[in-house]
Amino acid sequence: MPKIGMEPIRRKALTNAAIEAIGARGSMDVTMSEIAGRAGVSPALAHHYFGSKERLISDSVRALLSDLRGDAINALKAAKSDRARVSALIAVSFSDKQFSAEVVAAWLAFYVDAQRAPEIRRLLSVYARRLHSNLMSGLAPLAGAYEAERIAEGAAAMIDGLYIRKALGTGPARHDAVALVEDHIETHLLEIRGRTL
């Protein structure tokens, strides 16, 4: 007899286990059995809940995006100024949870898989649009739309690049990654202020 209310708990355990397994392997070359074993459930139950490994993988990307979105919303609510909003987003991108070796490796594997999996590509484009929009909401009042666009694109590219370096084991520590992106933004904002004086 199935336990009432266990499905959401087991689904979350399976998506977490998929992220862990992919992160540990550094690729999508994991099996449903391996993921189920990490989650402490049977492979049959994993198939029952998700139907296929591809569905479990896409739901795992959704889970990562949902966690990141929740963290970003909380950070943005606490920000007291436009500039603080930008800093909050950068801090969330490099939080201990988001910038852990396992999660970073999983993100990199998802980006590789997106080249052949339209659903993963779509989800990653949602992430990119959301990051851009959130950065623009803080930067546009400070720099104007055109300059904010350039700064936001550069910041997003730096975040992605620092994730790649972290996955390869050559990236900076979390606080150094934050400082690099903050420096990029502040340099551009200072340049804009200098032109308007």
Average pLDDT estimate for 12-40? 91
- Dihedrals phi, psi of 67, to nearest 5 degrees: -60, -45
Band of residue 1 on the pLDDT scale cut at 50, 70, 90: very low
Predicted TM-score (pTM) of this structure: 0.86
Average pLDDT estimate for 146-159? 97
- pLDDT surpassing 90 at residue 26: no
- pLDDT surpassing 60 at residue 150: yes
Residue 23 has what pLDDT?
87
Taking the CA atoms of residue 182, residue 185, residue 189 and residue 190 in that order, the dihedral angle to the nearest 10 degrees is 50
Q: Which of 19, 93, 101 is nearest to 60 (CA)?
A: 19
- Report the Cα 172 to chain-centroid distance in Å: 17
Give the SS3 label for residue 133: helix
Band of residue 5 on the pLDDT scale cut at 50, 70, 90: confident
Q: How far apart are CA 38 and CA 14, in angstroms?
A: 8
Higher-scoring residue by pLDDT: 178, 4: 178
Q: Which of 11, 150, 135, 33 is nearest to 84 (CA)?
A: 135
* pLDDT, tens digit (0-9, with 9 covering 90-100), for 95-125: 998 999 889 988 998 999 899 999 999 999 9
- pLDDT surpassing 70 at residue 197: no
Band of residue 194 on the pLDDT scale cut at 50, 70, 90: confident
Helices (H), 26-81: 32-39, 43-50, 53-78
- pLDDT surpassing 50 at residue 178: yes
Higher-scoring residue by pLDDT: 5, 192: 192
Fold observed for domain 61-196: Tetracycline Repressor; domain 2 (1.10.357)
The C-alpha angle 63, 68, 71, rounded to 5 degrees, equals: 125
